[in-house]
Amino acid sequence: MPNNILDILEYFPNKIKETLIKYESILNKTQEIHIYTNRNILLRTSLEEIKVNYVINTNEILETLQRICDNSIYTYQNQICNGFITVKGGHRVGITGEAVVKDGQVINISYIYSLNFRIAREVLGCSNMALPYILNKQENTVHNTIILSPPGRGKTTLIRDIIRNISSGIEKINFKGMHIGVVDERGEIAAMYKGVPQNDLGERTDILNNISKEKGIKMLIRAMGPEVIAADEIGTKEDIEAIKYAVTSGVKGIFTAHGGSIEDIMQNPILKELYNLNIIERTILIEKNREIKLIYSKEENK
């Protein structure tokens, strides 16, 4: 069984762990392990969902949460309020329950109902087909790029590998590494655990974790002097303003967004502004079969 799965199993009480081990062939392909109070465990792969013959009780949910938090839930309070905890290995555990709200902000989640373990898997080299569209090899820089796809096709996995390659450089094509600032708003790109990124983002990458893209982009530009800014799932007016600030500061950008076609983008008045201002130079789509397709090039759309 892969180490990343074994790491996840250690967070469960022994009875649950022993039960899950019986599903080894499924676990090797599992993307999510979802446990609910008084319901069966569910294993989700990219193709199917398996109901495990084990019903979780409230005490087991709480014991699992204690293990995730190193027996100090208070230490992880900020992450819990964001609805997830990042654990060693870059795995994320989503949390649901009764949200406690004060002045419009979630200050706690009580009566925990379910935990969803999203299993992290780096796919080194998955950006090889995308890089020719993104790199400007003549000037040793990158094109301002949006990576587009519907949910679940691997946008975050792809941008992570793109960052790694651009940051470290690509010797075989004589592409020198660039300094990159990553705004990891939901902690999914770097998967920071106790201040250490669990995913390889390259040799010249600065990371701001759990901060809005609006604030993070400006902070990185002012403090770290990046040549490239990268962020996942742009889409708000504040995101667009921050990207405009970056571009006018001479910084390139690589971003992801939800959508299935360039038409989807053009029907979104917020994202469309980046194209109207001629900021975006390339847009690539992750197709259903995970193939990469160039669907917009600024040069061809002049």
Domain closes at, from 118, 145, 179: 118
Domain range enclosing 257: 131-297
Instruction: Say yes or no: 135 and 114 in one domain.
Output: no
Instruction: Say yes or no: 99 and 231 in one domain.
Output: no
Instruction: Say yes or no: 91 and 180 in one domain.
Output: no
* 127-154 pLDDT, tens digit each: 999 999 999 999 999 999 999 998 878 8
* 61-103 pLDDT, tens digit each: 999 999 999 888 888 888 888 888 888 877 889 999 998 888 8
Strands 84-86 and 92-102: antiparallel
Answer yes or no: is 125 within a domain: no
Residue 72 to residue 75: CA distance in whole angstroms: 6
pLDDT at 236 > cutoff 80 = yes
Distance between first and last Cα of the chain: 52
Q: Find all residues with CB under 8 Å of 283, minimum gap 6, and list them.
A: 145, 146, 147, 148, 262, 265, 294, 295, 296
Whether the CB-CB separation of 230 and 255 falls below 8 Å is answered with yes
Domain closes at, from 118, 140, 165: 118
Instruction: Say yes or no: 89 and 135 in one domain.
Output: no
Q: What is the mean pLDDT of residues 265-287?
A: 95
Q: Residue 228 is encoded by which pair of tokens?
A: 């490239």
What's the pLDDT band for 2 if we cut at 50, 70, 90? low
Instruction: Say yes or no: 34 and 64 in one domain.
Output: yes
Instruction: Identify residue 242 by its one-letter amino acid code.
Output: A
Answer yes or no: is 86 within a domain: yes
Q: How far is CA 60 from CA 14, 22, 110, 155, in A?
A: 10, 19, 15, 33
Strands 40-44 and 32-36: antiparallel
CATH number at residue 233: 3.40.50.300
Tell me what pLDDT residue 177 has: 96
Number of independent structural domains in the chain: 2
Tell me what pLDDT residue 107 has: 80
Instruction: Say yes or no: 175 and 150 in one domain.
Output: yes
What's the pLDDT band for 266 if we cut at 50, 70, 90? very high
Answer yes or no: is 252 within a domain: yes
Instruction: Say yes or no: 152 and 213 in one domain.
Output: yes
Answer yes or no: is 221 within a domain: yes
Q: What is the mean pLDDT of residues 178-185?
A: 95
Q: What is the mean pLDDT of residues 208-213?
A: 90
Instruction: Say yes or no: 102 and 137 in one domain.
Output: no
Residue 180 to residue 164: CA distance in whole angstroms: 9
Instruction: Say yes or no: 114 and 135 in one domain.
Output: no
Answer yes or no: is 253 within a domain: yes
Tell me what pLDDT residue 51 has: 96
Answer yes or no: is 126 within a domain: no
Answer yes or no: is 124 within a domain: no
Domain closes at, from 84, 118, 152: 118
Instruction: Say yes or no: 207 and 285 in one domain.
Output: yes
Residue 45 to residue 32: CA distance in whole angstroms: 7
Whether the CB-CB separation of 52 and 140 falls below 8 Å is answered with no
Answer yes or no: is 302 within a domain: no
User: Percent of the chain scored above 90 by pLDDT?
Assistant: 68
What average pLDDT does the chain have?
91
* 110-121 pLDDT, tens digit each: 889 999 998 877
Instruction: Say yes or no: 99 and 201 in one domain.
Output: no
Instruction: Say yes or no: 77 and 136 in one domain.
Output: no
What's the pLDDT band for 3 if we cut at 50, 70, 90? low
CATH number at residue 23: 3.30.450.90
Q: Residue 153 is encoded by which pair of tokens?
A: 């096709």
